[in-house]
Amino acid sequence: MSTLNEISKIVASGQITAIKAKVQQALDEGVSAQSILDDGLLPGINEIGEKFARNEVFVPNVLLAAKVMNMGVEVIQPLLAAGENTKVGTAVVGTVKGDLHDIGKNLVALMMRSANLEVIDLGSNVDGAKFIEAINKYNPDVVGLSALLTTTMNEQGHIIRQLIDAGVRDKVKVMVGGAPVTQMWADKIGADAFTADAAEAAQWAKTYAASKGA
């Protein structure tokens, strides 16, 4: 079994004590940080998600896998985030109210930082009032709303309406993402951008912020 496959298995089976050394082993073998993320850690968390959907595992197993995934990301984080330090803009990100999934949002924050954006990460289960407060406080270029549940993606639209009511909608570009989110949904709720993954989100935010600053 390749080291990347072993990493997937370690995430899916929630082996906390094994993950850091295995990720380090992959790095020592010359595997890139991006490949460890895309071909090792993410397939592992997706595998547990599929098993969960089939009722083969339960929430504690998924929680454990998420913890192992985060520990793996910690090892490669400095490599993913390596870059120059010229700030191009500011982003406020968070997972919307009612939603506790934060792995994807954390990756978005990480990739945005590596794209030289300053990122204010509001965490998960964030309501519209907190986004509005952050817009007024940090004057960001973009606001990123992550949602992983078909129920909580509605909250993305709700937050956009709250930004309009608070008179701050035109100050920022609103980006949306998360597994159930699509371009069609983004258009329906009046978001400015939908991106399918963290790297694309960082690229979109960077391009927009740079065009504003130019």
Q: How many CA atoms lie within 13 A of 37 on its CB side?
A: 23
For ligand B1M, the binding residue among 88, 163, 201, 209 (CB under 6 A) is: 201
* Contact between residue 120 and residue 138 where contact means Cβ atoms under 8 Å apart: yes
Q: Which stretch binds ligand B1M (CB under 6 A): 1-9, 15-23, 138-146, 160-168?
A: 138-146
| Sheet strands (E) in the chain | 89-95, 117-121, 142-146, 173-177, 193-194
Instruction: Please tell me the count of residues contacting ligand B1M according to CB under 6 A.
Output: 37
User: Is there binding between residue 109 and ligand B1M (CB under 6 A)?
Assistant: no
For ligand B1M, the binding residue among 89, 128, 157, 177 (CB under 6 A) is: 177
User: Is there binding between residue 120 and ligand B1M (CB under 6 A)?
Assistant: no
In the complex, the smallest distance separating the C-beta of residue 156 from ligand B1M, rounded to whole angstroms, is 9
Q: Which stretch binds ligand B1M (CB under 6 A): 114-122, 131-139, 147-155, 156-164?
A: 147-155
Closest CA to 170 of 137, 126, 139: 139
User: Is there binding between residue 119 and ligand B1M (CB under 6 A)?
Assistant: no
Q: Which stretch binds ligand B1M (CB under 6 A): 11-19, 24-32, 42-50, 127-135?
A: 42-50
User: Is there binding between residue 66 and ligand B1M (CB under 6 A)?
Assistant: yes
- Secondary structure (3-state) at 124: coil
Q: How many CA atoms lie within 13 A of 56 on its CB side?
A: 9
For ligand B1M, the binding residue among 78, 123, 180, 213 (CB under 6 A) is: 180
Closest CA to 98 of 127, 72, 62, 121: 127
Its sign, for the CA torsion 162, 164, 170, 171, is negative
* Contact between residue 198 and residue 110 where contact means Cβ atoms under 8 Å apart: yes
Which residues form the interface with ligand B1M (CB under 6 A)?
A: 42, 45-46, 48-49, 52-53, 59, 62-63, 66, 98-105, 107-108, 144-146, 148-150, 175-180, 195, 197-198, 201
